[in-house]
Amino acid sequence: MASAAPFDRETLLDLVVNAIPLGIMLFFIAVFLLVNPFGSDPVGTAIQITIVGVTFLALFVLTYVSGKAISESEKELEEKGFAGVSEAVGAEDAVTEGEAVAGELEASEDTNGADGEPAGETDGTDDEESADAAA
């Protein structure tokens, strides 16, 4: 289904986070051009505007490219259906791995002794020596 807008509503919401930095950079470009807060040095002003302007253009292009990538990936996922989403992230594997980890934890709890140490291991002291030292 082709739409006239390049981005749908969800993609625009994902990209709106870059609107604030773009607005801030436009504000500083306007301040550098209109107020000239650092004197009338044309080289300094050109450097200031170039730094902020190149950063603005880079962020603008990055925002557009990431919007296109998000839009295309959402279209691909819609074509595959929602079952493809769980397969893409490996949700089924995560469940079986989670069950395996839970089984391992239960098994390790069963092998621990009363003091919380694994069965057959000690903390370096013999119970008989401890009893003799206490007497």
Q: Kindly tell me the sign of the dihedral angle through the C-alpha atoms of 45, 50, 56, 60.
A: positive
Q: How far apart, in Å, are the Cα atoms of 53 and each of 14, 16, 35, 40, 59? A: 23, 19, 17, 19, 10
Q: How far apart, in Å, are the Cα atoms of 33 and each of 26, 43, 54, 108? A: 11, 13, 15, 69
pLDDT tens for the chain, 135 residues long, are 455 567 778 888 878 888 899 999 999 888 888 887 777 788 888 888 899 999 999 999 999 998 888 888 888 888 887 655 545 555 555 555 555 555 555 555 555 555 555 555 555 555 555 555 555
**Angle ∠(97,100,105) on CA atoms, nearest 5:** 130
Domain definitions of the chain by residue range: 7-80, 81-112
